[in-house]
Amino acid sequence: MSSQPSQRPLLSGAALNLGAKLLAVGLGLAILVAVARLGPAVQGAFALFVAVESALVTLGSGLGLLLAREVSQRRGALPAGRARRLLGAAVLFGIVAAAVLAAWAVVAQADPYRHLWLLALVAPLTLMVPTATGLWMGQGRLLALNLPLVAAPAVVLAVLLAAATLHSSTVVLVLAAWAAGKAAVGLAAGAVAWCEDRAGPAEPAPTAPREAWRFVAVIAVTNLVSLANYRATLFLVERLRGLSEAGVYSVAVQVAELLWLLSSAVTVAAYHRIGSPDAREAAALTLRAVRINLGATLAAAPLLALLAWALLPAVLGAAYAGAIVPLVLLLPGVAGYAAASSLSAYYTNHRGRPQWSAGIAGLSLAITLAVAALAVPRLGAPGAALATSAGYLLAIAVALRLFLRDAGLPAAALWRGLPERAAAGENERPASTSR
* CB-based contacts of 23-28 (< 8 A; 24+ apart in sequence): 23/150, 24/146, 24/149, 24/150, 24/153, 25/258, 25/261, 27/150, 27/153, 27/154, 27/156, 27/157, 28/153, 28/254
Give the separation between CA 62 and CA 134, rounded to whole angstroms: 9
Nearest Cα neighbor of 264 from 10, 12, 14, 9 is 14
CB 82 within 8 A of CB 70: yes
Q: Burial of 55 by CB count in 10 Å (0-12 exposed, 13-18 middle, 19+ buried)?
A: middle
Tell me, rounded to whole angstroms, the distance of Cα 72 from its chain centroid.
Answer: 20
Model confidence band, residue 75 (pLDDT cutoffs 50, 70, 90) = low
pTM of the predicted model as reported, rounded to 2 decimal places: 0.74
pLDDT tens by residue, 402-425: 888 877 777 777 777 665 444 444
Nearest Cα neighbor of 257 from 179, 160, 340, 185 is 340
Residues written for the chain: 435
Q: What is the mean pLDDT of residues 12-33?
A: 78
pLDDT tens by residue, 167-193: 556 788 888 888 988 899 999 998 988
Model confidence band, residue 291 (pLDDT cutoffs 50, 70, 90) = confident
Would you say residue 42 has pLDDT above 80?
yes
- Domain ranges (residues) in the chain: 1-17+209-435, 38-207
Model confidence band, residue 135 (pLDDT cutoffs 50, 70, 90) = confident
The top-scoring range by mean pLDDT among 106-115, 194-203, 269-278, 354-363 is: 106-115
Give the separation between CA 282 and CA 174, rounded to whole angstroms: 43
Position 272 scores a pLDDT of 65
Would you say residue 282 has pLDDT above 80?
no
Q: What is the mean pLDDT of residues 55-64?
A: 85
